[in-house]
Amino acid sequence: MDTSKIINLEQISLKNNKEIDEKYIQNYLALEPSVLGLGELVLLAKEKIQPKAGRLDLLFQDSDTDRRYAVEIQLGKTDESHIIRTIEYWDIERKMYPQYDHCAVIIAEDITTRFLNVIQLFNGQIPLIAIQMNAFKINDKIGLKFIKILDEIKYDIEPLVVEPTNRKFWEETRSTKEIVALADDILKIINEIEPNFELNYNKHYIGLAKNGIAFNFAIMIAKKNFLRLDFKFEQNEDVENIINENKLDVLDYNAKSSRYKIRLTESEIKNKKDIIKELLKKSYEYFK
């Protein structure tokens, strides 16, 4: 039997390699995040300074779901300080940016059985992924293989408290009086569908409440020049046809939260009220 087309790969340790260090791997992943197998990732930061906690190696965001990944790299074996540092960075990021879903990612050459046992004590409470990085010498180059050793398990942590604000905060800090007033126009449309809704001002979005209870089938984010309306609905062709045929400016669809994002101006709300109402009604029925 001819086996000449198969070669034996020589696995090497990067920890003992004089040419490739952790920063080299960091730069490589910043350019090629797809090798991690975590989706369509966009680099947000490299060596991001964390308040009183050092530097986060890499921060990525999934372009489809907006989910963020706090990534820590370690050459050689994992150790206790590595997992503590990774979780600490993840916790800082989720507290700083609670409007996003966050996941911690540990990358190491050798993820030991003992370490996996420790990680599994946290998993179920913390969204944590462990990826083993294997390096192979191929002629004068090095090939890398990333294998997901431990995938995230569904977790249940105490939800972050959404910081309440008020209308003045949005008018003076995040947007303008004119744009925030567009949220009133959307609220009027919503109350034609179902009465007794009111605006609920939070730090990162303007939500909805009914009888004092949050009911966010739609949320609004007032920008400087437009109002972003996010409404919850499964992605489907009928809704997208309505959006496209009426030339609404859709920013994207967030598959993680099942929300369409639409950019609206004063004239669009006035001239396309019936279409906006139709979409909001679909969202309300879907949400309730």
Domains of the chain, earliest start first = 10-150 (3.40.1350.10), 167-287 (3.90.1150.20)
Long-range contacts of 281-285 (CB under 8 A, 24+ apart): 281/193, 282/233, 282/239, 283/217, 283/218, 283/231, 283/232, 283/233, 284/190, 284/193, 284/194, 284/217, 284/218
**Tens digit of pLDDT at every position of the chain (288 positions):** 676 777 777 888 888 888 888 999 999 999 999 999 998 889 999 999 887 778 999 999 987 777 899 999 999 888 778 888 888 999 999 888 888 889 999 999 888 777 777 666 665 578 888 899 998 888 888 889 999 887 765 444 344 445 668 999 999 988 999 999 999 999 999 999 999 999 999 888 899 988 877 888 999 999 989 999 999 888 888 888 999 899 999 888 877 677 899 999 999 999 999 999 999 999 999 877
Which pLDDT belongs to residue 78? 82
pLDDT of residue 58: 95
Per-residue confidence (pLDDT) for residue 7, from 0 to 100: 74
CA distance 171 to 178: 8
What pLDDT does residue 164 have? 67
